[in-house]
Amino acid sequence: MGGAKIFIFPLPYLGCIPVVTIGASVTAGMYCMSKMHDPESMIITVEYFHAFAVNFKKATLVWILFLFIGFIGAGDLFYAVRVADGGNLFFFLFALILLFVLISVMFWVFLLIGRYENSIQEHLKNALLLAVGRLPRTLLMWIV
């Protein structure tokens, strides 16, 4: 059993071959990381692909939503730095705050999708509350 748990590291990269499945792959990886300490857990590879299939729809929709919002933030940042005359401070600050909140919520939402059964809206709300409520941990995740 101990040797099978080593294969957790390449599995998320196999699931990320198409960019669209990054959310489901990260969710399945988080699920397997939480199950590694469970003595009754099965082979991690089997659990990974099971979690990937179970959480595919929710995690992919959340990932596409984050990708869309990230493109908006990146576009605002590009506009503030390159297009606006002299740099537009409003667009620059808006983009930085948007991207900071987006990535902070992303740290938590895939963990929540992998562990709990909720609607996407509830997962996003809980992830935002965790990102703000556990700000020291969120900042530590930024550092790591």
Q: Domain locations in the chain?
A: 9-143
CA distance 23 to 63: 5
What is the CB-side half-sphere exposure of residue 44 using CA atoms within 13 A? 23
Q: How much of the chain exceeds pLDDT 90, in percent? A: 34
Q: Is the pTM of this model over 0.95?
A: no
- Check residue 6 and give its pLDDT: 47
| Res. 18: pLDDT tops 80 | no
| Res. 5: pLDDT tops 60 | no
Task: Pick 44 or 15 by higher pLDDT.
Answer: 44
- Check residue 133 and give its pLDDT: 93
Question: Given pLDDT bands bounded at 50, 70 and 90, which one contains residue 1?
Answer: very low
Task: Pick 118 or 40 by higher pLDDT.
Answer: 118
Mean pLDDT of 93-103: 90
The DSSP call for residue 79 is I
